[in-house]
Amino acid sequence: MNKIGFDNDKYLKMQSEQIRRRISEFGGKLYMEFGGKLFDDFHASRVLPGFLPDSKITMLKELKDQAEIVIAINAADIEKNKVRGDLGITYDMDLLRLADAFREEGLYVGSVVLTRFAEQPSAIAYEKKLKALGLKVYRHYPIENYPSDISLIVSDEGFGRNDYIETTHPLVVITAPGPGSGKMATCLSQLYHENKRGVKAGYAKFETFPIWNLPLNHPVNLAYEAATADLDDVNMIDPFHLEAYGETTVNYNRDIEVFPVLNAMFEKISGKSPYKSPTDMGVNMAGKCIFDDEAVSAAANQEIIRRYYQALCEYRKGNAEMEPVRIIELLMNKAGISTADRPVVAAANLKAEQTGGPAAAMELPNGKILTGKTSVLLGASSALLLNALKELAGIDDSVELIPPDFIEPIMKLKSNCLGDHSSLLHLNEILIALSVTAVNNENARKALEHIPDLKGCEAHSSVILSQVDENVFKKLGVNLTCEAHYESQKLYHK
Protein backbone atom coordinates (compact mmCIF):
# COMPACT_ATOMS: atom_id res chain seq x y z
CA MET A 1 0.00 0.00 0.00
CA ASN A 2 1.13 3.56 -0.71
CA LYS A 3 2.82 5.57 2.01
CA ILE A 4 1.59 9.13 2.44
CA GLY A 5 3.80 11.59 0.58
CA PHE A 6 1.61 14.66 0.09
CA ASP A 7 0.54 17.29 2.66
CA ASN A 8 -3.11 18.01 1.85
CA ASP A 9 -3.64 20.65 4.54
CA LYS A 10 -0.61 22.61 3.33
CA TYR A 11 -1.93 22.33 -0.23
CA LEU A 12 -5.34 23.77 0.67
CA LYS A 13 -3.73 26.72 2.46
CA MET A 14 -1.10 27.48 -0.21
CA GLN A 15 -3.50 27.05 -3.12
CA SER A 16 -6.12 29.39 -1.67
CA GLU A 17 -3.49 32.02 -0.91
CA GLN A 18 -2.05 31.80 -4.42
CA ILE A 19 -5.46 32.30 -6.06
CA ARG A 20 -6.25 35.28 -3.80
CA ARG A 21 -2.88 36.79 -4.71
CA ARG A 22 -3.60 36.35 -8.42
CA ILE A 23 -7.03 38.02 -8.05
CA SER A 24 -5.42 41.06 -6.43
CA GLU A 25 -2.75 41.25 -9.16
CA PHE A 26 -5.47 41.81 -11.75
CA GLY A 27 -7.37 44.50 -9.90
CA GLY A 28 -10.02 42.30 -8.37
CA LYS A 29 -11.43 40.32 -11.34
CA LEU A 30 -9.97 36.97 -12.39
CA TYR A 31 -11.24 34.42 -14.91
CA MET A 32 -9.71 31.09 -13.95
CA GLU A 33 -9.76 28.14 -16.33
CA PHE A 34 -10.11 25.04 -14.18
CA GLY A 35 -8.72 21.97 -15.93
CA GLY A 36 -9.07 18.40 -14.74
CA LYS A 37 -11.64 17.18 -12.26
CA LEU A 38 -12.95 19.44 -9.54
CA PHE A 39 -14.77 16.53 -7.89
CA ASP A 40 -13.48 13.03 -7.30
CA ASP A 41 -9.95 13.54 -8.64
CA PHE A 42 -8.92 9.96 -7.99
CA HIS A 43 -5.97 10.17 -10.38
CA ALA A 44 -4.42 12.87 -8.20
CA SER A 45 -5.16 10.93 -5.02
CA ARG A 46 -3.48 7.83 -6.48
CA VAL A 47 -0.29 9.50 -7.70
CA LEU A 48 -0.02 11.93 -4.76
CA PRO A 49 -0.87 9.71 -1.77
CA GLY A 50 -2.30 12.03 0.84
CA PHE A 51 -4.13 14.20 -1.71
CA LEU A 52 -7.86 13.90 -1.03
CA PRO A 53 -10.06 13.38 -4.12
CA ASP A 54 -12.19 16.44 -3.32
CA SER A 55 -9.28 18.71 -2.30
CA LYS A 56 -9.89 21.16 -5.14
CA ILE A 57 -13.54 21.65 -4.32
CA THR A 58 -12.62 22.02 -0.62
CA MET A 59 -10.14 24.71 -1.61
CA LEU A 60 -12.78 26.51 -3.68
CA LYS A 61 -15.17 26.41 -0.74
CA GLU A 62 -12.65 28.48 1.20
CA LEU A 63 -13.09 31.09 -1.55
CA LYS A 64 -16.85 30.71 -1.96
CA ASP A 65 -17.60 34.29 -0.94
CA GLN A 66 -15.43 35.46 -3.85
CA ALA A 67 -16.17 32.74 -6.42
CA GLU A 68 -18.84 31.88 -8.92
CA ILE A 69 -18.94 28.99 -11.36
CA VAL A 70 -19.53 29.15 -15.11
CA ILE A 71 -19.87 25.75 -16.76
CA ALA A 72 -18.88 25.49 -20.43
CA ILE A 73 -20.09 22.78 -22.76
CA ASN A 74 -19.33 22.34 -26.45
CA ALA A 75 -22.58 22.41 -28.45
CA ALA A 76 -21.10 19.84 -30.85
CA ASP A 77 -20.62 17.44 -27.91
CA ILE A 78 -24.30 17.81 -27.05
CA GLU A 79 -25.23 17.06 -30.65
CA LYS A 80 -23.20 13.84 -30.78
CA ASN A 81 -24.09 12.69 -27.25
CA LYS A 82 -20.46 12.63 -26.14
CA VAL A 83 -20.00 10.36 -23.11
CA ARG A 84 -17.71 10.93 -20.15
CA GLY A 85 -15.68 7.71 -20.06
CA ASP A 86 -15.16 7.41 -16.30
CA LEU A 87 -18.83 7.94 -15.39
CA GLY A 88 -20.59 6.56 -18.45
CA ILE A 89 -22.95 9.56 -18.75
CA THR A 90 -23.27 12.13 -21.53
CA TYR A 91 -21.68 15.57 -21.16
CA ASP A 92 -25.07 17.30 -21.05
CA MET A 93 -26.17 15.11 -18.13
CA ASP A 94 -22.81 15.56 -16.41
CA LEU A 95 -23.23 19.33 -16.57
CA LEU A 96 -26.42 19.02 -14.51
CA ARG A 97 -24.63 16.68 -12.10
CA LEU A 98 -21.82 19.22 -11.70
CA ALA A 99 -24.24 22.11 -11.14
CA ASP A 100 -26.02 20.14 -8.41
CA ALA A 101 -22.72 19.14 -6.81
CA PHE A 102 -21.44 22.74 -6.75
CA ARG A 103 -24.65 23.98 -5.18
CA GLU A 104 -24.59 21.24 -2.55
CA GLU A 105 -21.15 22.53 -1.55
CA GLY A 106 -22.50 26.06 -1.17
CA LEU A 107 -20.89 27.40 -4.36
CA TYR A 108 -22.74 29.77 -6.66
CA VAL A 109 -23.33 28.49 -10.19
CA GLY A 110 -23.77 31.69 -12.17
CA SER A 111 -24.45 30.38 -15.66
CA VAL A 112 -23.83 27.93 -18.49
CA VAL A 113 -22.15 28.81 -21.78
CA LEU A 114 -22.76 26.81 -24.95
CA THR A 115 -19.48 27.04 -26.86
CA ARG A 116 -19.09 26.53 -30.62
CA PHE A 117 -22.83 27.10 -30.89
CA ALA A 118 -23.99 26.69 -34.51
CA GLU A 119 -27.76 26.25 -34.17
CA GLN A 120 -27.40 22.51 -33.48
CA PRO A 121 -30.94 21.17 -32.84
CA SER A 122 -29.88 19.21 -29.75
CA ALA A 123 -28.08 22.24 -28.34
CA ILE A 124 -31.16 24.44 -28.85
CA ALA A 125 -33.33 21.86 -27.08
CA TYR A 126 -30.79 21.60 -24.26
CA GLU A 127 -30.68 25.38 -23.92
CA LYS A 128 -34.45 25.44 -23.45
CA LYS A 129 -34.15 22.72 -20.81
CA LEU A 130 -31.47 24.63 -18.89
CA LYS A 131 -33.52 27.82 -18.93
CA ALA A 132 -36.59 25.90 -17.73
CA LEU A 133 -34.45 24.66 -14.83
CA GLY A 134 -33.68 28.26 -13.92
CA LEU A 135 -30.12 28.47 -15.26
CA LYS A 136 -28.81 31.47 -17.21
CA VAL A 137 -27.48 30.35 -20.60
CA TYR A 138 -25.13 32.16 -23.00
CA ARG A 139 -23.99 31.37 -26.52
CA HIS A 140 -20.44 31.50 -27.88
CA TYR A 141 -19.94 30.94 -31.59
CA PRO A 142 -17.32 29.23 -33.76
CA ILE A 143 -14.64 31.59 -35.08
CA GLU A 144 -13.08 30.75 -38.41
CA ASN A 145 -9.37 29.87 -38.25
CA TYR A 146 -9.33 29.88 -34.43
CA PRO A 147 -6.80 30.31 -32.85
CA SER A 148 -4.47 31.49 -35.63
CA ASP A 149 -6.38 34.47 -37.12
CA ILE A 150 -5.86 36.85 -34.21
CA SER A 151 -7.15 39.93 -36.05
CA LEU A 152 -10.49 38.22 -36.63
CA ILE A 153 -10.66 36.56 -33.21
CA VAL A 154 -10.02 39.75 -31.24
CA SER A 155 -12.64 41.83 -33.04
CA ASP A 156 -16.36 42.53 -33.07
CA GLU A 157 -16.76 39.73 -35.66
CA GLY A 158 -14.86 37.27 -33.44
CA PHE A 159 -15.15 37.41 -29.65
CA GLY A 160 -17.45 40.39 -30.14
CA ARG A 161 -20.20 38.11 -31.53
CA ASN A 162 -20.24 36.05 -28.34
CA ASP A 163 -22.71 36.77 -25.58
CA TYR A 164 -21.16 38.64 -22.69
CA ILE A 165 -21.53 36.48 -19.58
CA GLU A 166 -22.85 38.56 -16.70
CA THR A 167 -20.81 37.80 -13.57
CA THR A 168 -20.95 39.27 -10.08
CA HIS A 169 -17.96 37.80 -8.20
CA PRO A 170 -14.24 38.64 -8.34
CA LEU A 171 -13.24 35.02 -9.08
CA VAL A 172 -15.00 33.39 -12.04
CA VAL A 173 -14.17 29.70 -12.32
CA ILE A 174 -14.68 28.31 -15.83
CA THR A 175 -15.07 24.55 -15.68
CA ALA A 176 -16.58 21.87 -17.93
CA PRO A 177 -17.69 18.24 -18.08
CA GLY A 178 -14.57 17.26 -20.05
CA PRO A 179 -11.78 18.35 -22.39
CA GLY A 180 -12.47 20.29 -25.58
CA SER A 181 -15.31 22.24 -24.02
CA GLY A 182 -13.88 25.69 -24.81
CA LYS A 183 -12.88 26.85 -21.32
CA MET A 184 -9.88 28.90 -22.43
CA ALA A 185 -11.76 30.55 -25.31
CA THR A 186 -14.55 31.44 -22.86
CA CYS A 187 -12.04 33.16 -20.57
CA LEU A 188 -10.45 35.08 -23.44
CA SER A 189 -13.83 36.12 -24.81
CA GLN A 190 -14.75 37.51 -21.40
CA LEU A 191 -11.47 39.44 -21.18
CA TYR A 192 -12.29 41.02 -24.56
CA HIS A 193 -15.77 42.06 -23.42
CA GLU A 194 -14.57 43.28 -20.01
CA ASN A 195 -11.90 45.41 -21.69
CA LYS A 196 -14.50 47.00 -23.96
CA ARG A 197 -16.49 47.87 -20.85
CA GLY A 198 -13.45 49.40 -19.18
CA VAL A 199 -13.18 46.64 -16.59
CA LYS A 200 -9.70 45.41 -15.70
CA ALA A 201 -9.72 41.60 -15.58
CA GLY A 202 -7.15 38.81 -15.74
CA TYR A 203 -6.79 35.19 -16.72
CA ALA A 204 -5.15 32.29 -14.91
CA LYS A 205 -5.06 28.56 -15.45
CA PHE A 206 -5.46 25.88 -12.81
CA GLU A 207 -4.15 22.49 -13.90
CA THR A 208 -2.89 19.93 -11.38
CA PHE A 209 -0.78 18.11 -13.99
CA PRO A 210 1.86 18.17 -15.22
CA ILE A 211 3.44 19.55 -12.06
CA TRP A 212 5.58 22.44 -13.27
CA ASN A 213 8.30 22.25 -10.60
CA LEU A 214 8.94 18.48 -10.84
CA PRO A 215 11.45 17.10 -13.39
CA LEU A 216 10.18 16.34 -16.88
CA ASN A 217 10.54 12.57 -16.42
CA HIS A 218 9.42 12.43 -12.81
CA PRO A 219 6.99 9.49 -12.35
CA VAL A 220 4.14 11.86 -11.40
CA ASN A 221 4.50 13.73 -14.70
CA LEU A 222 4.92 10.49 -16.64
CA ALA A 223 1.72 9.20 -15.01
CA TYR A 224 -0.08 12.28 -16.33
CA GLU A 225 1.15 11.45 -19.84
CA ALA A 226 -0.09 7.89 -19.37
CA ALA A 227 -3.51 9.17 -18.26
CA THR A 228 -3.80 11.37 -21.36
CA ALA A 229 -2.14 9.02 -23.86
CA ASP A 230 -5.32 9.03 -25.97
CA LEU A 231 -5.19 12.86 -26.22
CA ASP A 232 -1.61 13.05 -27.55
CA ASP A 233 -0.58 15.24 -24.61
CA VAL A 234 3.18 15.33 -24.12
CA ASN A 235 5.09 16.94 -21.26
CA MET A 236 7.77 19.41 -22.37
CA ILE A 237 10.27 21.82 -20.91
CA ASP A 238 8.67 25.26 -21.14
CA PRO A 239 11.07 27.08 -23.52
CA PHE A 240 9.44 30.47 -22.90
CA HIS A 241 9.95 30.20 -19.15
CA LEU A 242 13.53 29.02 -19.59
CA GLU A 243 14.32 31.97 -21.85
CA ALA A 244 12.59 34.54 -19.64
CA TYR A 245 13.85 33.39 -16.24
CA GLY A 246 16.59 30.83 -16.83
CA GLU A 247 14.47 28.36 -14.85
CA THR A 248 13.53 24.85 -16.04
CA THR A 249 9.83 24.12 -15.65
CA VAL A 250 7.45 21.59 -17.15
CA ASN A 251 4.28 22.23 -19.11
CA TYR A 252 2.47 20.29 -21.79
CA ASN A 253 2.62 20.58 -25.53
CA ARG A 254 -0.76 22.17 -26.22
CA ASP A 255 -0.21 25.09 -23.85
CA ILE A 256 3.32 25.63 -25.16
CA GLU A 257 2.21 25.49 -28.80
CA VAL A 258 -0.64 27.94 -28.29
CA PHE A 259 1.21 30.37 -26.01
CA PRO A 260 2.50 32.72 -28.77
CA VAL A 261 -1.08 33.05 -30.01
CA LEU A 262 -2.42 33.62 -26.49
CA ASN A 263 0.27 36.20 -25.86
CA ALA A 264 -0.70 38.06 -29.01
CA MET A 265 -4.36 37.95 -27.95
CA PHE A 266 -3.54 39.37 -24.51
CA GLU A 267 -1.58 42.17 -26.17
CA LYS A 268 -4.39 42.96 -28.61
CA ILE A 269 -7.05 42.87 -25.89
CA SER A 270 -5.34 44.92 -23.21
CA GLY A 271 -2.23 46.41 -24.77
CA LYS A 272 0.29 44.08 -23.15
CA SER A 273 0.56 40.49 -21.98
CA PRO A 274 0.80 39.82 -18.24
CA TYR A 275 2.71 36.60 -18.85
CA LYS A 276 6.09 35.61 -20.24
CA SER A 277 5.42 31.85 -20.36
CA PRO A 278 2.68 29.21 -20.12
CA THR A 279 4.02 28.32 -16.68
CA ASP A 280 3.39 31.92 -15.58
CA MET A 281 -0.31 31.44 -16.31
CA GLY A 282 -0.66 28.59 -13.82
CA VAL A 283 -1.46 28.79 -10.12
CA ASN A 284 -0.81 25.16 -9.15
CA MET A 285 0.91 24.65 -5.78
CA ALA A 286 0.77 20.83 -5.67
CA GLY A 287 4.50 20.36 -6.27
CA LYS A 288 5.34 22.41 -3.19
CA CYS A 289 3.31 20.08 -0.97
CA ILE A 290 5.16 16.81 -1.68
CA PHE A 291 7.19 15.83 1.39
CA ASP A 292 8.14 12.24 0.48
CA ASP A 293 9.28 12.00 -3.11
CA GLU A 294 10.00 8.28 -2.86
CA ALA A 295 6.43 7.51 -1.76
CA VAL A 296 4.94 9.71 -4.47
CA SER A 297 7.19 8.20 -7.16
CA ALA A 298 6.25 4.65 -6.17
CA ALA A 299 2.54 5.51 -6.30
CA ALA A 300 2.91 7.19 -9.69
CA ASN A 301 4.76 4.20 -11.14
CA GLN A 302 1.87 1.96 -10.10
CA GLU A 303 -0.54 4.34 -11.83
CA ILE A 304 1.43 4.09 -15.07
CA ILE A 305 1.10 0.30 -14.98
CA ARG A 306 -2.63 0.56 -14.23
CA ARG A 307 -3.05 2.91 -17.19
CA TYR A 308 -1.21 0.41 -19.39
CA TYR A 309 -3.68 -2.35 -18.56
CA GLN A 310 -6.60 0.05 -18.97
CA ALA A 311 -5.38 1.01 -22.45
CA LEU A 312 -4.97 -2.65 -23.41
CA CYS A 313 -8.51 -3.43 -22.26
CA GLU A 314 -10.00 -0.44 -24.08
CA TYR A 315 -8.28 -1.63 -27.26
CA ARG A 316 -9.61 -5.16 -26.76
CA LYS A 317 -13.12 -3.78 -26.24
CA GLY A 318 -12.86 -1.85 -29.50
CA ASN A 319 -13.12 1.52 -27.76
CA ALA A 320 -9.63 2.80 -28.58
CA GLU A 321 -6.68 2.45 -30.94
CA MET A 322 -3.41 0.68 -30.17
CA GLU A 323 -1.40 3.93 -30.11
CA PRO A 324 -2.09 4.75 -26.42
CA VAL A 325 -0.77 1.31 -25.50
CA ARG A 326 2.47 1.98 -27.38
CA ILE A 327 2.80 5.42 -25.79
CA ILE A 328 2.43 3.99 -22.28
CA GLU A 329 4.92 1.22 -23.06
CA LEU A 330 7.46 3.93 -23.86
CA LEU A 331 6.60 5.73 -20.62
CA MET A 332 7.13 2.51 -18.68
CA ASN A 333 10.54 2.19 -20.29
CA LYS A 334 11.36 5.78 -19.28
CA ALA A 335 10.31 5.03 -15.70
CA GLY A 336 12.23 1.74 -15.65
CA ILE A 337 9.18 -0.30 -14.66
CA SER A 338 7.21 -3.25 -16.03
CA THR A 339 4.07 -5.21 -15.24
CA ALA A 340 6.24 -7.38 -12.97
CA ASP A 341 6.27 -4.40 -10.58
CA ARG A 342 2.57 -4.95 -9.91
CA PRO A 343 2.51 -8.05 -7.63
CA VAL A 344 -1.21 -8.80 -7.98
CA VAL A 345 -0.75 -9.45 -11.71
CA ALA A 346 1.47 -12.50 -11.27
CA ALA A 347 -0.68 -13.79 -8.39
CA ALA A 348 -3.94 -13.62 -10.37
CA ASN A 349 -2.47 -15.13 -13.54
CA LEU A 350 -0.77 -17.96 -11.63
CA LYS A 351 -4.04 -18.82 -9.90
CA ALA A 352 -5.83 -18.83 -13.26
CA GLU A 353 -3.18 -21.15 -14.70
CA GLN A 354 -3.47 -23.51 -11.72
CA THR A 355 -7.27 -23.68 -11.75
CA GLY A 356 -7.93 -23.47 -15.48
CA GLY A 357 -10.49 -20.70 -15.01
CA PRO A 358 -10.73 -16.98 -14.31
CA ALA A 359 -8.99 -15.83 -11.14
CA ALA A 360 -8.31 -12.61 -9.29
CA ALA A 361 -5.86 -11.31 -6.70
CA MET A 362 -5.84 -8.47 -4.18
CA GLU A 363 -3.10 -6.85 -2.11
CA LEU A 364 -4.33 -5.86 1.36
CA PRO A 365 -3.11 -2.87 3.41
CA ASN A 366 -0.64 -5.12 5.28
CA GLY A 367 0.94 -6.24 1.98
CA LYS A 368 -0.58 -9.72 2.02
CA ILE A 369 -1.85 -10.95 -1.36
CA LEU A 370 -5.02 -13.04 -1.51
CA THR A 371 -6.57 -14.77 -4.51
CA GLY A 372 -10.02 -15.87 -5.58
CA LYS A 373 -10.97 -18.55 -8.09
CA THR A 374 -14.10 -19.34 -10.07
CA SER A 375 -16.32 -22.06 -8.59
CA VAL A 376 -19.81 -23.43 -9.11
CA LEU A 377 -21.24 -20.85 -6.70
CA LEU A 378 -18.90 -17.88 -6.97
CA GLY A 379 -17.10 -15.98 -9.65
CA ALA A 380 -13.43 -15.18 -9.06
CA SER A 381 -14.07 -11.55 -8.07
CA SER A 382 -16.80 -12.48 -5.60
CA ALA A 383 -14.62 -15.18 -4.06
CA LEU A 384 -11.75 -12.71 -3.80
CA LEU A 385 -13.93 -10.08 -2.15
CA LEU A 386 -15.20 -12.50 0.48
CA ASN A 387 -11.69 -13.85 1.11
CA ALA A 388 -10.39 -10.31 1.58
CA LEU A 389 -13.15 -9.39 4.03
CA LYS A 390 -12.52 -12.57 6.04
CA GLU A 391 -8.81 -11.76 6.24
CA LEU A 392 -9.46 -8.17 7.29
CA ALA A 393 -11.99 -9.27 9.93
CA GLY A 394 -9.75 -12.04 11.29
CA ILE A 395 -12.21 -14.77 10.26
CA ASP A 396 -10.80 -18.21 9.45
CA ASP A 397 -10.60 -18.92 5.72
CA SER A 398 -12.66 -22.12 6.09
CA VAL A 399 -15.72 -20.17 7.29
CA GLU A 400 -18.50 -19.65 4.73
CA LEU A 401 -19.73 -16.07 5.08
CA ILE A 402 -22.77 -16.79 2.88
CA PRO A 403 -24.20 -20.33 3.10
CA PRO A 404 -24.55 -22.13 -0.27
CA ASP A 405 -28.27 -22.71 0.32
CA PHE A 406 -28.63 -18.93 0.48
CA ILE A 407 -26.77 -18.32 -2.80
CA GLU A 408 -28.42 -21.07 -4.87
CA PRO A 409 -32.00 -19.63 -4.89
CA ILE A 410 -30.62 -16.27 -6.04
CA MET A 411 -28.73 -18.00 -8.86
CA LYS A 412 -31.90 -19.83 -9.95
CA LEU A 413 -33.85 -16.57 -9.90
CA LYS A 414 -31.24 -14.91 -12.12
CA SER A 415 -31.13 -17.69 -14.72
CA ASN A 416 -34.73 -19.00 -14.68
CA CYS A 417 -36.74 -15.83 -14.13
CA LEU A 418 -34.55 -12.89 -15.08
CA GLY A 419 -32.99 -14.47 -18.18
CA ASP A 420 -29.39 -13.93 -17.10
CA HIS A 421 -26.92 -15.95 -19.20
CA SER A 422 -24.68 -16.37 -16.16
CA SER A 423 -26.20 -17.30 -12.84
CA LEU A 424 -23.07 -16.32 -10.90
CA LEU A 425 -23.70 -13.32 -8.67
CA HIS A 426 -22.15 -9.94 -9.46
CA LEU A 427 -20.25 -8.14 -6.72
CA ASN A 428 -23.18 -5.88 -5.86
CA GLU A 429 -25.42 -8.94 -5.50
CA ILE A 430 -22.86 -10.69 -3.32
CA LEU A 431 -22.64 -7.66 -1.04
CA ILE A 432 -26.44 -7.51 -0.74
CA ALA A 433 -26.52 -11.24 0.05
CA LEU A 434 -23.80 -10.70 2.66
CA SER A 435 -25.79 -7.83 4.19
CA VAL A 436 -28.92 -9.97 4.48
CA THR A 437 -26.90 -12.85 5.96
CA ALA A 438 -25.43 -10.45 8.53
CA VAL A 439 -28.86 -10.12 10.20
CA ASN A 440 -28.36 -13.51 11.87
CA ASN A 441 -24.66 -14.18 11.28
CA GLU A 442 -21.96 -12.59 13.46
CA ASN A 443 -19.13 -13.39 11.00
CA ALA A 444 -20.98 -11.77 8.10
CA ARG A 445 -21.61 -8.73 10.28
CA LYS A 446 -17.91 -8.48 11.18
CA ALA A 447 -16.94 -8.84 7.51
CA LEU A 448 -19.24 -6.01 6.46
CA GLU A 449 -17.63 -3.68 8.99
CA HIS A 450 -14.32 -4.01 7.13
CA ILE A 451 -15.58 -2.95 3.69
CA PRO A 452 -14.07 0.57 4.15
CA ASP A 453 -10.65 -1.10 4.62
CA LEU A 454 -10.71 -2.18 0.97
CA LYS A 455 -10.20 1.41 -0.15
CA GLY A 456 -6.81 1.80 -1.80
CA CYS A 457 -6.21 -1.94 -2.19
CA GLU A 458 -4.74 -3.17 -5.48
CA ALA A 459 -6.52 -5.90 -7.46
CA HIS A 460 -6.05 -7.73 -10.76
CA SER A 461 -8.30 -10.06 -12.73
CA SER A 462 -7.13 -12.63 -15.25
CA VAL A 463 -10.07 -11.65 -17.50
CA ILE A 464 -12.00 -8.48 -18.34
CA LEU A 465 -14.78 -8.12 -15.77
CA SER A 466 -18.37 -7.11 -16.37
CA GLN A 467 -19.11 -3.40 -16.18
CA VAL A 468 -21.14 -4.06 -13.03
CA ASP A 469 -18.19 -5.64 -11.21
CA GLU A 470 -15.76 -2.97 -12.43
CA ASN A 471 -18.10 -0.29 -11.09
CA VAL A 472 -18.39 -1.97 -7.69
CA PHE A 473 -14.61 -2.20 -7.35
CA LYS A 474 -14.41 1.50 -8.27
CA LYS A 475 -17.03 2.44 -5.66
CA LEU A 476 -15.17 0.45 -3.03
CA GLY A 477 -11.99 2.37 -3.89
CA VAL A 478 -10.15 -0.73 -5.11
CA ASN A 479 -7.58 -0.05 -7.86
CA LEU A 480 -8.46 -2.73 -10.41
CA THR A 481 -6.61 -3.89 -13.51
CA CYS A 482 -7.55 -6.70 -15.88
CA GLU A 483 -5.87 -8.84 -18.49
CA ALA A 484 -7.04 -7.79 -21.94
CA HIS A 485 -9.17 -10.80 -22.84
CA TYR A 486 -12.63 -12.07 -22.06
CA GLU A 487 -13.64 -15.24 -20.28
CA SER A 488 -15.61 -16.43 -23.33
CA GLN A 489 -15.35 -16.03 -27.09
CA LYS A 490 -18.76 -14.31 -27.37
CA LEU A 491 -18.95 -11.09 -29.38
CA TYR A 492 -21.34 -9.34 -26.97
CA HIS A 493 -20.19 -8.63 -23.43
CA LYS A 494 -21.94 -6.63 -20.71
- Mean pLDDT to the nearest integer, 111-124: 97
Is the per-residue pLDDT at 419 higher than 80?
no
Closest among 204, 275, 263 to 33, alpha carbons compared: 204
pLDDT score for 125: 97
Residues 6+ apart with CB under 8 A from 275: 263, 266, 281
d(CA 25, CA 236): 28
Instruction: Work out whether strand 359-363 and strand 458-461 pair parallel, antiparallel, or are unpaired.
Output: antiparallel
- Closest C-alpha to 98, from 106, 109, 84, 88: 109
Measured CA to CA, the distance from residue 403 to residue 433 in angstroms comes to 10
Give residue 418's pLDDT. Answer: 77
The percent of residues above 70 in pLDDT, for the chain, comes to: 97
**Domain 8-215+235-287, CATH:** 3.10.630.10
Q: What percent of the chain has pLDDT over 90?
A: 77
Single-letter amino acid code for the residue at 48: L
33-37, 197-201, 358-362: range with lowest mean pLDDT:
33-37
Q: How confident is the model at residue 258 (pLDDT cuts 50, 70, 90)?
A: confident
Which superfamily is assigned to 343-482 in CATH? Domain of unknown function (DUF1846), C-terminal subdomain (3.40.140.40)
pLDDT tens, position by position, 441-494: 999 999 999 999 999 999 999 999 998 999 999 999 999 999 999 876 664 445
CB-based contact 390:401 (threshold 8 Å): yes
Please tell me the predicted confidence (pLDDT) of residue 491.
47
Query: DSSP states of 300-319 as a string?
Result: HHHHHHHHHHHHHHHHHTTS
pLDDT of 201 over the 80 cut: yes
CB-count burial class (<10 Å; 0-12, 13-18, 19+) for 42: middle
Closest CA to 83 of 74, 92, 75: 92
Separation of CA 129 from chain center? 27
**pLDDT digit string, tens, across residues 293-343:** 999 999 999 999 999 999 999 999 998 899 999 999 999 999 999 999 999
- pLDDT of residue 374 exceeding 60, the answer is yes
Domain residue extents for the chain: 8-215+235-287, 343-482
Q: How high is the pLDDT of residue 49?
A: 96
* Packed helices 219-227 and 323-335: angle between N→C axes, nearest 10 degrees: 170
Q: How far is the first Cα of the chain from the last one, in angstroms, to the nearest whole number?
A: 31
| Residue 40 clears pLDDT 70, i.e. is over it | yes
Give the pLDDT band (50/70/90) at residue 261: confident
Position with higher pLDDT, 161 vs 148: 161
Given a cut of 90, is residue 413 above it in pLDDT? no
Q: Looking at residue 230, what DSSP letter applies? A: G
pLDDT at 155 over 60: yes
Averaged confidence pLDDT in the chain:
92
Phi, psi of 458 (to 5 degrees): -100, 140
What is each CA distance from 448 to 73, 237, 388, 389, 434, in whole angstroms? 41, 49, 11, 7, 8
Query: Which H or E element spans position 13?
Result: helix 8-25
Residue 338 region by backbone torsions, left for phi larger than 0, else alpha for psi between -120 and 50, else beta: beta
pLDDT the model gives residue 136: 97
CA–CA distance, 359 with 375 (Å, rounded to integer) = 10
Asked whether the beta carbons of 394 and 409 are under 8 A apart, the reply is no
How does pLDDT run across 6-21, given as a tens digit for each residue? Answer: 999 999 999 999 999 9
DSSP code string of 81-145: T-EETTTTEEHHHHHHHHHHHHHHTT-EEEEEEEET----HHHHHHHHHHHHTT--EEE----TT
